[in-house]
Structure 1
């Protein structure tokens, strides 16, 4: 009796093991046949991380930037940087007149190789890129500041930095386009054509036998 019970239990366990194995194998097969992306694309929907609105150029933002607002934002930097003329270097270099100067220009400050290796001068675009993400602009920099993600704040800070000893000419605001658009040109043309048509329709038709009103005919008539 015990042998029979053991046999039944053994077959039951073997069946369970076989079912589990088949389940695992079938799952692996279907997983390998599954496409990389499930579902169907929907027209007009942008996947996360793709596309997005283009950022306004820093030159456009600088045309309306507020240096006073930038001074308030600069308070986040004041613990590491001085900005007064002749000010001492701190954890970061003195920033007086920084715009227009070469990267790594402050005398006596130990710049990282990441900064010293960047050619050219600090301009509005490079300063905006630096303030957006110092580590991305200069991989290996010693600066621990994460960056300013708000483009208006960056424009205000750059305007403030520029007012402290750099005084580079800020970009002008885009001029309004005074030229008429094609649709406006078409509307004007249609209105002119309609006026001319109405003038022609209002010309009186001479009665039969009436003398001609043609100026050329009047010149040729005998006296």
Structure 2
């Protein structure tokens, strides 16, 4: 079970990011981080399959080690740990749940070094910009704290990109997250699944071609059942 001890471990790791400390605390990592997150991934495989038909059926569990082969200045261990749910093949977008020293979050992300794989996301975002703003307002989202981008193109990719969407449209990688939480209201499996459901419309914007998007959005709350009325109301904003 995922508990406060997981967040405490990540906080301690942030202050002691070295191999000697990690080796001394490996049992804490296994007990409070790796095993609970692995169990969470397994518990969510079937529920996520019900809301994401293209899901591979098996969540990916991150590694705690940073790849320092080409970046020797990186610390040896990551400051966060996550599980992700993506399509069967060639997925550059996913839903994910993660933990760090501040608690747990859910979100959706997409990234690729090439321009073309993100064009569906960029064009859908521009087409749905009014609904997107209503959706993020309903989430209570702070773009400064809950939208992360990297490796942006300098030259505008489209004419007349609105200022508030410009950083997202131009980015080669985008991760949009919920607010950090320390507690679980129901069970940790139920709460994380609910968090993933919040971001299902974002995942659809990232992955579904324009010609199919309206149909997929309209399935939400009908063919794909929301876990509660609040999520159903959130989904309707994007329809």
**Which structure: greater strand fraction?**
2
Give yes or no for TM over 0.5: no
Task: Using structure 2 for the length normalisation, give the TM-score.
Answer: 0.21
Bigger Rg, which one: 1
Q: TM-score, normalised by structure 1?
A: 0.22
